[in-house]
Structure 1
């Protein structure tokens, strides 16, 4: 300081060298970190989405299972095309899956919808829910889950436990 005034830089180039903002290297590092995080998060999100869609299919069949079990325990047989409720009455369709019931056996077949509607890992895959034989214990009525061609990692925990029995 001379005479109460601050010293000015001798030339403009010296004053322009002060850094303002991020450098290119810093920005490239940030972009690389974001890319790595996205590479980790995207597959996890896709698996989560597929599992949620398969769960919707299982929730959708809850009414079918209840109706089938009540009918079978009351009448000693599974409904056919000529009974009430009829097999066609028991078919349901959800956003990601369709479920149908086989006449006389009560087997519920869940088919995931095509790619573009359902997630790529589960599109077009099937799951089968098989009711117990009516000659077995009438006090227990638990559907057995068979994964068909559905990858096990997408099945709900309840299905994983009955599929392994």
Structure 2
């Protein structure tokens, strides 16, 4: 209090707020942080939704692996729901339609298109048995348009 009274005696004004320039600097800093954070958050959300789409294929992965083991790796015998012993091919949560499965010698190609909410990217991958014949491997093929940053870490 004494300091304020001393300043008043000297004719100086006591400042009780922020200046315009200080407020503008704070607004600029917040704007810069938002410009960086918002796109990263949107990428995080899209990656999470693609992770959901890919995990929705778990039952099909198991069925394809079992079918290919039982049929000596012949994917042509593992490309319909009936051949995979499942009631229907699933539709991932963020996909426009049920997955498509096309069998070929030694592999099964799986594809579907994501909704606009996840960028309308196309998932296309060849599922094939590894050298031991006990595990499926996944390889993106022509037509797959999902950027690598949206794939789960286990499938990059």
Q: Please indicate, yes or no, whether the TM-score normalized by the shorter chain is above 0.5.
A: yes
Residue 137 of structure 2: SS of its match in structure 1?
A: coil
In the other structure, the counterpart of 2:147 is 151
What is the deviation of 1:82? 5.0
**Cα 1:157/1:82, change in 2 over 3 Å:** closer
In the other structure, the counterpart of 2:40 is 44
Q: Is residue 65 of structure 1 aligned with residue 67 of structure 2? A: no
TM-score, length-normalised on structure 2?
Answer: 0.72
What is the deviation of 1:53? 1.7
What is the deviation of 1:140? 3.4
What is the deviation of 1:145? 3.1
Write out per-residue CA displacement over residues 87-109 of structure 1, whole angstroms, 9 at most, x where no aligned residue: x7022231x23551324443221
Larger of the two Rg values belongs to structure: 1
In the other structure, the counterpart of 1:112 is 114
Q: Distance in 2 between the 1:37 and 1:82 partners?
A: 53
What is the deviation of 1:84? 5.8
**Cα 1:29/1:20, change in 2 over 3 Å:** same
In the other structure, the counterpart of 2:88 is 89
For the 8 Å contact 1:126–1:150, the answer to whether it is kept is yes
How many residues align? The count is 141
User: What RMSD, in angstroms, separates the aligned Cα atoms of the two structures?
Assistant: 3.0
Residue 92 of structure 1: SS of its match in structure 2?
A: coil
Q: Distance in 2 between the 1:20 and 1:100 partners?
A: 65
Structure 2, gaps ≥5 residues long: none
Q: Distance in 2 between the 1:58 and 1:140 partners?
A: 17
Q: Distance in 1 between the 2:129 and 2:35 partners?
A: 47
Q: Is residue 139 of structure 1 aligned with residue 134 of structure 2? A: yes
Q: Distance in 2 between the 1:46 and 1:81 partners?
A: 35
What is the deviation of 1:37? 1.0
TM-score, length-normalised on structure 1?
Answer: 0.68
In the other structure, the counterpart of 1:30 is 26
For the 8 Å contact 1:100–1:109, the answer to whether it is kept is yes
